[in-house]
Amino acid sequence: MDKNELIDSPVSEMFFSHCAVSPLVPAAAEVMTTFHHDLMKQGIIALEKYGSALPHYRKQFAALLKTDPANISYTHTTAEAMCQIAWGYPFEPGDRIISYLHEYPSNHYPWLLQKRRGVELDLLPDHLDNGAASDEPPTAWSMDDLKRLCTPKTKMVALSHVQFTTGYAADLVELGRFCRERDIDLIVDCAQSLGCLPVYPEEFGISAVAASGWKWLMGPKGAGVLYTSERFRQKLEPIFGGPSMMKQMFDYLDHTWDPFEDGRKLEYSTIPWDHVLALSTIAERLFSHVSMEAVRDEVFRLQDLLVAHIDPDIFNFLKFEPNNRSGILTARLPENANQLVKALLDHQVVISERAGYLRFAPHFYQTDQQMIAGAETINRVCSNILK
């Protein structure tokens, strides 16, 4: 993999926090700046040259997800997408949703609110690798518990592909097969995987995928992507109304209720074209030239290199089975994790902390030298703090 042809490293620091907010890809920043400059000079006239922005965005992300552009919608955030799904879905009183006890809030509150409609939310407990229940911080959920919680009234399973605290990745092939066999709609939050791991909803049997664009996609904050299958989308009633979702889009005095049937059905109003252009640029220039399998393998190789050079007496990294591995490596330091994060930042090493875990998340464009230099700095700083 010739990374130099794909991306210039956007940061000089040893940046290992792509699970938080990533550096913006330089080409994406440039296209946003150009758009703003054109808008500053020409106002509405400038928009004529960007008329293909949304179709191009859908085409690029359809390729990334191995689907048809008709199944792609722009979304601002994962929470927005999940709310559209949760409130638009034809739940009936007594229906049930399965999720995980320690989900990210964007993939929890939309389902919790369905209690107003008489829908019950069943939460998978946390389990350690040995399957024993634990009161310790978040670790993972198990398929055995999912099978136990599933009932004939279970209509939906809503889980993150990768857990934001520990990096535990769901086996989407196994999970999708389980849901498909029971005619359960599988909704997956891919904020911590899209741009790092393969996400192919139609191969995996996923009804909907939502992802923010400022983590592993390295796009602007407040931009994301939503996938819905045609069959699933037909179930959804719009919960927002606006001109952009209507077939007569620009005929503002025609108030006929005639929404699109494709992904535009969920794009209800004005969309930030600068964000659309940025994400399209990233998808086209980065991820159309390299397979997601190659990205994943390179991320794992860099992780292994980083860990190999970190003093094992300092960190005990949480490890999962190969099918449950992700771009996030975590180590538990409950007493002084925040102190370490701040101290490492003073030495140009960027990591993040969640729930007492230190999260290490390098990306595929980075170099071996950055991993080794980062590990050496981590060893030096941490030995001083922890001694």
User: DSSP letters of 275-329?
Assistant: HHHHHHHHIIIIITSS-HHHHHHHHHHHHHHHHHHS-TTT--B----GGG--S-E
pLDDT of res. 3: 66
Q: What six digits make up the tokens of 339?
A: 């102190």
Rounded CA-CA distance 276/223 in Å is: 7
Rounded CA-CA distance 39/23 in Å is: 25
Q: What is the pLDDT along the chain (387 residues), one digit of tens a residue?
A: 566 656 665 566 799 999 999 999 999 999 999 999 999 999 999 999 999 999 999 999 999 999 999 999 999 999 999 999 999 999 999 999 999 999 999 999 999 999 999 999 999 999 764 343 455 678 999 999 999 999 999 999 999 999 999 999 999 999 999 999 999 999 999 999 999 999 999 999 999 999 999 999 999 999 999 999 999 999 999 999 999 999 999 999 999 999 999 999 999 999 999 999 999 999 999 999 999 999 999 999 999 999 999 999 888 899 999 999 999 999 987 567 788 899 999 999 999 999 889 999 999 999 999 999 999 999 999 888 776
Q: Which conformational region is residue 284 in: left (phi greater than 0), alpha (psi within -120 to 50 degrees), or beta?
A: alpha
Strand 154-160 and strand 96-100: the pairing is parallel
In terms of C-beta density within 10 A (0-12 exposed, 13-18 middle, 19 or more buried), how is residue 180 classed?
A: middle
Closest residue by Cα to residue 235 from 87, 58, 68, 76:
87
- Tell me whether the CATH fold assigned to 11-24+292-386 matches the one assigned to 32-287: no
What letter represents residue 35's amino acid? F
CATH for the 32-287 domain, from 3.20.20.330, 3.40.640.10, 1.20.970.10, 3.40.630.10:
3.40.640.10
Q: What six digits make up the tokens of 359?
A: 């999260």
The H or E element that residue 53 is part of is helix 53-65
Alpha carbon of 7 to those of 51, 203, 216, 274, 383: distances in Å? 27, 29, 14, 20, 34
* Strand ordering across the sheet containing 96-100: 72-75, 224-228, 208-212, 185-189, 154-160, 96-100, 120-124
Give the SS3 label for residue 46. Answer: helix
DSSP helix, strand, coil percent of the chain (3-state; round to 5): 45, 15, 40
- Domain regions of the chain by residue span: 11-24+292-386, 32-287
Q: What's the predicted TM-score (pTM) here?
A: 0.95
Residue 57: phi and psi, rounded to 5, are -60, -50
Contacts of 257 (CB under 8 A, 6+ apart): 246
Return the CATH class of domain 11-24+292-386.
alpha beta
